[in-house]
Chains A and B, each alone.
Chain A
Amino acid sequence: MNKVLNPIPPRRSQYGVDPGFVKKRMAEYPEMKAIYLRELFPELPQVIFPGENGLDKVRQAVHKELEKVDMSMIGPEDSVNICASHHGFTLVGGEPYAELLKAIKDVIEEKTGTKNIRLRAGVGLRFRETEEYIKSFGLDEYFAGKAKGVAPVDEGIPIETEIGTLYGLKSIYDADWIVHAHNSDVREVHFHRQVDRAVKPFAMSYARIDTRSTYHHNLGPRGANFTARAIFSSDFVQSKFAFTAILEMSPLGIIGVDADNDLYSLNDRITVSGCQNYGKVMTLLGEIDECIVGLDFPCPVPYVFAGGVIYANFVGANVDLFDLDNPLPPYTWYTEAFYDSKGKPLFKETPPPNPAIKMVVHNYAWAGYPSAFFSEHIPTIVVGEKQANLFREDPQNLSYMKHSVFAESLDAAMAFAYRGTGTDKVIVFDGAAGGINVSKSLYELLKVKAPEVKTRVDEKLFSKWLKQRGINPEELNKKNEKCR
């Protein structure tokens, strides 16, 4: 068995406790081992990051990909907004995404001559999060002071779409041209259901609250991401859109960079790779019969990572989240809204949160995202008084601690979790790259289950998922060959 992989270190942020209060990481326990994703699924693609000279490889990949992208629409005096999102900075430490943004700027400058290139970095529910990343990764200096965090409550502009008026953020669109800098991490598959994944920021981090609320309340669990398509396809956005460049992700890390003037073509490509690569890891996690979950990563509760997927995915792993025949995932905001005040679902076929999760040990995760659903439905122990108070005072988590218990130390929390659940299977969401830190017993279970999962995804589920999204992989391959 392998030694544990290094967890992502705590990050100083106003949304989490000071790193000094994180006294011990879950990966430090002797019973913890690392299971490498490549042991489970040897066919997963090779990564360029993490690895030797990883950042250089990211930069080289950006330059190479952008060679084929048409930038002739951008004049030497034109202004360009490179639009980014906070999620990118949570991937494998954040540096690769920062490098992508820097390299895009350099190539635009080289190819078009313009110096008026700005960074507009959108957020979700933590309005200063990208301001923190901009400082931390030196983006303010790199963009000569033209780097700005934007939030969904900032001033908006109306965008006429084929379904009616929606609202974008004024400062996202205040340039002659916009460049969409994103990533293909599957992430919130419970929300977007891997439909138009590449387009989503147009309805989220580049959008006003009015639009985001449309997504989560007005269009339904499988229609929601049409909000993004409607905005992106609008005449207004099309008149400003230059191109997209993304970090191509797999659960192992960064496998490359993809760029295109045609966002929908790029979207089809990442739909395929997302289903293929992340689909296996998620399906495997759905095979876990019982476990204790450790949250130990610098992000809000649902966004902590293990094996390249987020905790919210694991909460829904008892259901095939890629299968669009399943209307409501066990966790999504539509699902959460449809539990009544007595805790009973209004739609009786609502699947429960993953019953394999017997207890959650919240060692380190941020506030700044409504997370009470998780502690209300899954027994949760929060480590440390500082962290408990952070949640008590967070306007988005007024009830999180009402449903949680509190332990003074990680040791006390783990002892309670082992006793209370009777299981010795533990999975830690700590961002370890290339694998998952798990207990020995869970290591063995995952090894046993992986071959059958691989066969099921390759031979049955993958084609079903693509068919539901109107993608024929053979036709897509032919199209991509032509482009090359």
Chain B
Amino acid sequence: MPYVDIDAPGSNQLFIGNEAIARGILEAGVGFASAYPGTPSSEILGSLAEIAQRRNLYVEWSVNEKVAIEAATAASFAGIRSLAAMKMNGLNVVIDFLSTIVLSGIGKKGLVLMVGDDPSAHSSSNESDSRPVAKWLDIPLVEPGDFQEAKDMLPYLYQISEEFGTLCILRSVTRIAHARGNVRLGKIPDIEHKARFDQFYDPAAPMPTPIMCLPSAFRHMFQHMRLERIKERFETSPLNKYVGPEKPELLIITAGSGWLYSQDAVNALKAEERIGILKLGTLWPLPEKLVRNYLNSTDKVIFIEEIDPFIENAVMEFAASFSPENRHNIFYGKHTRHLNAFGELTPDAVIKAITSVLDIKYVPRDAEYIKKIESVPANYVVDRLLTFCPGCPHRASFWAIKNTLAMDGRNGFVTGDIGCYTMALGPAGFFQTRTHQCMGAGAGLANGFGQLHRFGFDQPVISVVGDSTFYHSIIPALINGVHNHADFILVILDNGATAMTGFQPHPGTELTAMGEPAAPISMETICRAIGARVEVCDPFDLKSTTEILLDFLQQKRGVRVAIMRRSCELVRQKKEKKPYKMKIDPEKCLGEDCGCNRLCTRIFRCPGLVWDTIASKTRIDEVICNECGVCADICPERAITKEAVA
């Protein structure tokens, strides 16, 4: 695949949506981009990082989303077009800042927040829709409906941002961000960025003032005035388009991925003559005149959009202001249960909604065919539950956690966090994790549990976090715990990478996003400075990891931190050879007999170990085993052996 800065204006490239957005960022002449990784937004900064040095672009993986948007804002203040990217969870983290930046306004150059939503929450702990934030906080928001738009919207958005002096939001969803399509490239401008902070620049103020949100009520009014003007601009925006007959029987109003599904559905129903599609790109503020124009062309209207009824509610709210003789529309959508306000859209769901409104007969493929299609993957995909990779250090860490909590016997439990280790809710982590919310929540919860001893609570609490999560949002919780004498154990699974989102660097790693060397910020030093008792161990050394945890569990008070440090297997194997050659002695393997009962394939469940139902013995799956050696230490009969590879 080409780099996103490929110098071929006018050519067509097959880009995923996030690459198209990255290209758009370059074509918009952005000089500063920051992000915290999160699906489905990570590839934007990832693909910019690859080319940042040669494109005079500064990129950073920020410690968290709030710092990312604040840092990007500074660049805007100093006259550099800037952008911060994040997933919807990150948007929640930055709300407080957004609520003030809309009042203070931005600098001379544009500022865009790109947020990736994850309908169906494929890789997320929530399924929230980012768009209501735009309405709530008075921020202009656009959403691309295809890959070309994903690129083209950025230069447009920077124009809006600069002309009106406001932060703008670009919202995308998984099926735009991660699907691949044709993008016709434009030119990347050659810009000499020159940064300077004019300390009294504030176009909103009648006199020179610092950039500030005071007086807030006045600036709130001012932002509403801005939005009115932006609405005017959006009325004629090329990002909004209509296809279909002049007087359609049914009008679809859609945006984002809904645009693609709507076209598919109309096409499948051969209803091009009956149905019109109004595709909106500028979602907030809603271009009301434009919408009203199309509402007048028909009676029946259905809204096709992913997650919340955002356009649906906005249009109906606005239609409620029509005079009685003009209120002829019948609205269908999520409020009529024709579509769900959760989960992803599919062409089938859209077809079903349309056919129930228009009474069109649609015969899908016959059941036999569907059955056949569904059976195909079973021949090629291994039937396996969601689990850690073979050789993943987390499996060993949770093995030690499981055993020590069982030995302790006081019904201790793990409060979970966000990362690969979220899978410890299930068999991958032996069902140890009992709470799962957002980044940092596990440590916050542990703070609360850790105070309940005064109410008879005697269960040990272990907050398990990843290294990137630690820097992102654990440190305040740790400080809180030490200061308030909370009782809990914090386990940091330090695998040296933001592994779940694709190994992005973080403050504990040795490289910045720009590829410059960085001194890893020592988490043990931070924890010790805060005043916690800290032990560092290698989770593959099950014995000492277990001993540390048992020792921690016997200490009844205070914050104790165990740093379980071992490189993510996927990172390690890029640098090193496999350390061992694993073997199983079938003579020694007890299998299902007393004294084992398939401990390795029934409880430990590394995918590298396979239960041979015919021989009633365990086998090593040599294709996927990463030869980490941990199973040799859990085999009660020492039937599994590891031989160091020279």
Same complex: no
